[in-house]
Each structure stands twice: as structure tokens, then as C-alpha cells.
Chains A and B, each alone.
Chain A
Amino acid sequence: MSKQQSEYDAVVIGGGHNGLINGAYLAKAGLRTLILERHEIVGGAAITEELYPGFQFTTFSYALSQLRPQIVQELELVKYGFMPLLMESNLTPMENGDYLLFGQDEQQNIAEIRRHSKHDADAFEQFSHDVAMVVQAVRPLLDAIPPDVTSTDPEELLRMAALAQHVRSLPPRVLQNGMRLLTGSAADFLDDYFESEILKAAIASAGIIGSKVGPRSQGSGLVMLYMSIGEHDGDQGAWSFHKGGTGGFTQVLARAAAGFGAEIATGTDVSHVITSNGKTTGIALKDGREIDADVVVSSLDPRRTFLQLVEPRELPTELVDSIERMRFQGTSSKVNFALDGLPNFPALADRGEDPFRGFINMGPTIDYLERAFDDAKYGWFSQQPYLDSCVQSTIDRDMAPAGKHVMSNFVQYTPYELKGSDWDTERENLGDVVQATIERFFPGFGDLVLHREVVTPLDIERRTGLTEGNIYGGEFLAPQMFLFRPAPGWNQYRTPISGYYQCGSGTHPGGCVMGGPGRLAATQILGDLSRSS
């Protein structure tokens, strides 16, 4: 029987940002590419939905920063509507009604710090410079396929040597700061610079995003560093809100992918990857159809890529073991509100929208953040959670009707596994806790609420498929990064099954709307194809 000519060269499983980016690169290189998305809209965890009439919600992911800038250029995203708007402010309200407000004027920010601590003014500049130097040292590693530490291939040995050379070339201070951030706690790192509690808390909160670590846990330094590696138009560490939300961004990606010739099939649920003699030949859909392709790419997280889409028994036991031990344990939720007006912060009542054009960090002390973590350690959600909030309609007016607003609140900590209860029972209780927390800092908040949407780790998992609702597709912990993401020896986007690749956030450089995995996986796939031909 002659083999039927396959319609596609490559099938990408999952239409989240990494799947779309990967598919766009493959299509751009001339592969006949099909991207499969089980929902009716693409975007995965980066979607915008009108969950209440006239109000656009970024249901899950809510801001852009770490997106690798090459992707914007290489995929010509501007042509397809890429428009990152600046999130220009950062408000950290305090329990006593005072606040720390950062904006775009550096001198003004210094003056604001001096209001809290004269010591911390130049300390902040030193801290910012030190972190920027580490970011600069790390950046090249984000944009290249990491070496394979398990390989004896001379090419890989050379790449390990190049990595060692890169590390060796760094000034000692940068190297040491890098190690302290990669292995230590955010609180310890900040204690070396600052005396002001509010300043420390405002910065440390970045170290707990999405991970089950407290600000005093080792590992929070790494997350804090990751939150600093992004940019808005070259402004290091600054964040953007894409026009139309993160869903607006993934729509841009979908248009770009289609523009390069990729086909996108939504409402198409993949059952498994078809393998034969250690090689993939395509995929099977849940409706029984099969699609042939020599290249199959999973943008799903490592758990599903290795343990669900293929049979674990076809894989080396060591890899299966590694993936089974990979930690996900999602601890973040979202509570999104439709509001009748702008929240009121009494101390800045005369400043109009100024305090609301970026992030609002509700977590005024390191103790506050650590206590929020304490609840999670013992299996419950924080009774006074840390909230990373933004009133996105101040940045993009099209998110809400004129004069109304949408507010996104990222909630930490809400462990996936609750002791003695479950999220279907506790969902609205979490909503109440979050609303009460906002009310403490913004009196009268409850009167503004028109609609509330609570998204627990369980909801994240159900809707996006992300295992245990972990937003990074595998926690940001040193043993799960770079050489080990998702597993030693399998950190170069390949799998033990020939033709089957991985490109999700569970691969290097990792989660957030970074796109690096999608791009680097495409580089690897195209390289393999050109080598084999």
C-alpha cells in the first residue's frame, strides 16, 4: 500500500501563545503547518473575553513584558496589529492609608522613596543597576537553545564550554548577585539594600508571583529576577498591556501565523500523538480523525506532553520519573471585576486616574506577604492575600464602556489542593476574601462592583489545561530551569520520540507570555529537518 501524501508537514498541539508562535515560525520557513486548539478561540491562557456585556476581561494572563523582542520583528507582528501600551504606574497602598507610587519620572520616584526613607534613595538606584546587570548577563541565555548537560556530543560540549566562558566573563559582583538571585530569597536580597518596609514589599511581591514560595523562601529571588527581565519598548523591567488585552495579543499572533500560511483549527481536541517504532506519524483527534505529519509539536505542559499525549511506557523511565516529580502546584487565582467607576484611594483622591494606570500591589510589608504564604503552606488560601491588580480600562478605553472600568486581580496564594475542601466549594469564598482585601485599601470598593469572575487554580486547569493550574507550565524553581526544564537531557525541545517536539512554557526559557519556547523549538525543529535532509 503506497503511503498517502500527508497534507501537513507539522502539526502543533495547542493554540496558546507558544503554539501560535511556534506554528508561525514553522509556516514562515515553508512547512505546511496546522495549529490545533480545542477551544473556539485561540490564546490558551492569554485570552480576552466579554464575560459581562461591554466589559472585556483578561481572564487569566493580564500583562506583557518578557515577550522576546525578536519575535515581534521576525514574525512582523506590527503588521498584524501588535500594540503594547505602557503600564506607567505602580501603586503600593499601605495599611495606614499612605502609599508608595512609582511612575515614569525617575527623579519623582526617587523623591517618593525619600518620603519613606532617605537612605533608600540611592540604594534603589544601586539595586536597579545591579539587577539590570544580572538581567543583561542572563538575557543571551533566554534567546538561545540551552546546552544539553547530559550529552557527550562534541558540539554540546563546546556549548557547555561557551556557557562556562560566558559565566567566567562576568564581573564578580554580577556573578555573585546572579547566584544570590537564582538561589536565594527576594527578602534577603532586598535586605542588603533597603530599610524601608514598603519599598521592600513593593519589590519583593514580584518574587512570589505564580510560585509556591514566600518572600523569605529560597527561590523567590529567581522569580523576582524573571519578573525583571522584560521590557516595554526597551525600558527594562517595564510592563505593557496589549491593546485588547493578552487576548488581543494572541489574536495578533494568530493573524501572523495565518499570514505566513499556517492553518488554525479551533474547536479541535487532540486525543494523542501517534507513534510507530519510536517515531511520530501524526496525531489522533478525540473525534477519531487522524492527521498525518512528520513533525508534531506539543505546546502543552510537560505533564501532558509526556504522560498524556504519548504513552509513558514508550519513554525512558528516567524521563517519566523526572516529569512526574516536576512541581506544578498552582497557587494563583484571578478575580476579575466589572466596575461602575474608578476605585477610591483617599490619599490620592485628587490625582484622578494617575495611581491606576499600571499595577496596584496590595501587599504592603514582607510580613504581610509571608503571612499570606503561611496559609498556603498549611493547605488553605490566604485570608489576606497578596493582590497584583490593574484597572486595565484606564490604559485601553476599549476594555469597558465609557466611565466604567475592568479590574484584574491576580491573587496569591491559593493552593491547588485545599485541605478538607475543594475549589468548587470555596470559589466564591475566595471572591469574598479578595473583595474584602481590596475594600481595606480602597474604601467603598464593593459599591462599584457590577460583576465578579473568580478563577481558581482548578478553573485555570479545567479551562486551559495547565496542570494543577500552574501559570508557568511548571514552577519557576532552580531545579526546573534551563538545563533541567523540563528534564535533564530533554531541555532542547526534542523528545525521545523522533519527530515529536515540545514548545510549551514548561520548556526553556519558561512561562509568562515570553514566547521563547515557541521560537526556540522552531529553531530546533527546522535545524533537525535541514540536517536530516
Chain B
Amino acid sequence: MSRFLLRRLLELVPVFFGVILVVFVISRMTPGDPARIILGEKATPEALAQLRVVLGLDQPLPVQFARYLGRAMRGDLGRSIQSNERVIVDLATRFPATIELTAAAMLIATVVGVLTGVLAAARQHSWFDGASMIVALVGFSMPIFWLGIMLILLFAWQLGWFPISGRLDYAVELRRITNFYVLDALLARNGAAFGDALRHLVLPAVTLSTVPLAIIARMTRSALLEVLRQDYVRTARAKGLAERRVVLGHALRNAGIPVITVIGLNVGSLLGGAILTETIFAWPGVGRLVVDAIFARDYPVVQGAVLVIAVVFVLVNLAVDLAYAYLDPRIRYG
């Protein structure tokens, strides 16, 4: 087991290198000189030339790459071209916002999704089964942008239950330690901030959770239905077990592997794909950071963010593999 873990962690090294290389090459192949884009209509030739030197763009590509790689090895991802901020600081403040949002969304999606899927499978062809699968299809197809605005209009603007945008009311004091606001509020034993941060989290998390929720619900249902048709389930029923124990105790665990896989894949795509939700709710996360940086040709920020997203992706996949072994005793890593 520990050898497996070590091997998987070692695999991170070529992944790092590959990601850096690919992102570096792609970002350099994108048309548009960053100096031009930063200076816009106002560019004077002197300013352009000067800015290219400042940004190191006057050096040949391999030199730029070698320099970047050397610094990245030492944990220095450079400074943002636009703001002059250290990329590592940008990421340290933005990633927690996105992870907080993604975690909340995945929690909702997993709990509600699995529950719905189980109920639908246990009562196949019932009205609940039909209704929930239609809702899931609608949830899957709904434009996030539209859904977000509608949730705001109803629950924030009309009813006033939740705030419209942001992560924390400006009147609420909170010392930021980890930049996970919910966690920071707990650490500071600050009840007001904890409640406010949670209230801010609800609507964006619900918005972000709809697509994975729909996928998880449908996947749980179909996986469970398949398992429920197997011989050992018939045996369990034949020996007189209650249906609840048959489904939850015997079948669900076996149906878990495809469900866990889908959850893992969705965590990854949400990390990079929260951009729309972050934009609607003015959520200061990494999705907006990356998109702004791409538009501004802010290479160091794009590279740094993609690198970190890739690492999280790899780690989530590792966690999924470990979960397989827990769910299915036949799977052992060594």
C-alpha cells in the first residue's frame, strides 16, 4: 500500500513537467503579444519595447522555459505581469475560495444525488423514479448562468434569505488565516462570521451542484439497478432480509465504484469549471483568476494556476483509487 502511494506520488514529477511544458508552449503559441494586450490602443513603440524587456519576452523561448522551470522547482512561480503580485500568493488566496465552493457543491451533489438515485432504483417505475430522473435531466441541461440569476432573484432579491453576491458581508470582521472563510470563522470562534460565510455559500454551491447532482443521481440509479438484478441480491432477499438492508447493506456498496468514479471526475472539472458560478456570484475564486489572466496574456498566472489544478486533479484521482480498494475488497494495491 505505501509502495503504491509512493509510486503514485512520484508520478507527480513527470506530470508537473508535462503540464508546465504544455501550458508554456500553448500559451506562447496563442496569438497576441502580452505587451500589446497590456498597453492596448495606447501602446507607444518605446513602451512596448520596454515592457517586453521587463517581461523577459525578448529572450528566446527555450531560455524563457529553462528560467521558468528552474524557478518553479524552487517553488517560485513568478509574478503576475498585470498586478506584480507573486503568483503563489494569488493562488493561495484564490484556491481556498474555489475549493470551499467546490467542496460545498460536491457535498450537496453527493448527498442529494446518491439519495435520489437509491430511492429511484429501489422504487423503479414509481412516480418518484420518473419525476426525479426528469428533474435530473433538466438540471443537467440547464444553463448555469440562467439558474444562478433565477436563484438570486427568488431567494436573495425577492425573499432576502441569502445575500446576492460575494463571500462575506463587508460589515463582518474576520481575520483571514487559511482563506477558507468557514474554517477561519470556526478557528476564530466567530459565530457571526461563520453564519454569514455559510449564508453566502448556499446559492453559489447549489448552482454549481446541479450538473454533478444530476449525473450522480442517474449514475447511482443505473449502477444500483444493475446490482439489484444479481444473484447474491436475490439470495439476500430469499433469506428474508428487509429490503432496506438488501439495498443499503448489500447492493449499494457494490454499486459504489462507478459512482465514486463519477464523483472524482466531477471534482476535477468543477475546480476549473466554476468560472460561470464565480462570475455570477462575484466569488473571488481561481476560475475567474485564470480567465482574466488568459485574456490579459498573464503567462505566469495561467501557468501557475493550471499547474495547481493539475496537481489537485492527480490527487483526487489518487483518492478515488484508494476508495475503490475500500469499497471492493478484491482490489488491492501493492
Our verdict on whether A and B bind, yes or no, reads: no
Give residues in A with beta carbon < 8 Å to B.
none
* B interface residues, Cβ below 8 angstroms from A: none
